[in-house]
Structure 1
């Protein structure tokens, strides 16, 4: 009887994580992503920019917008043009892209890129030469333009980055 009791104690001790230095792990637990979905390496014309910084563009000239998502799993990128401090919404969305899957040819992995252009009081974006969409604005709004990038994963965890957009006329940039 004594041997059976010892065998049961050893069995229960090893099944409950005994002998592992006090740490027990459950293989069914998924790692928790404390940060959620965070966009990285936001770049305009191959220069790194951080939220709140000013991006200067010249009218009639295309500029590159690049980003990196935290993984190559499916995600969504929405680009917005905000005037007069308005938040991102459907009314100021330039384009929405589905990314992060090999079936999405415009941004098939974690890294994505589009080209945008300010011309005739409109901010338009393109991929591989094809127009993705555009958003008009008024001349008096030039000092209050904001370029907003919103990325969301499949679980709707989102990250929003906002940049001040300074528009120069071609004669000002020379």
Structure 2
């Protein structure tokens, strides 16, 4: 089959772009040096996130972590649809497994392994009161706190780290509506 000039141009563009692909790859995402899993366990409140399809309409988002018998971490995520107080509750349970000894990179699965994700701890309070969590592709980012609110100075520092240290585009970051007593 004879190639048209459009096909040749497209092939040329693909070859040219492909040759420069390594130069366009972002630097690897850096995590905290280590996470003490037993200190990380418990309830966390989502303060902000980059929008995720699976979280459309979610408010009052929390994640609870506990140990499974096999040493992996049980992940129990919950939210309320549209309204933090009166919204319909939505929950999902998953499993997180550390990728290495640092425990700062975890593989998370839901629906018995049908859906998988990366959970990387990028910033972590020494007292385990707040965390910045993302994925290596920089499509997901979560600001988490042990309380439904987070001091604004800490929040701003985490956003600054997300951009300057970790290379995130936070222009679409949205604050999560939480039920605050």
Give the number of the structure whose alpha-carbon radius of gyration is greater: 1
TM-score (norm 1): 0.25
Q: Which has the higher strand share?
A: 1
Q: Which has the higher helix share?
A: 2
TM-score (norm 2): 0.24
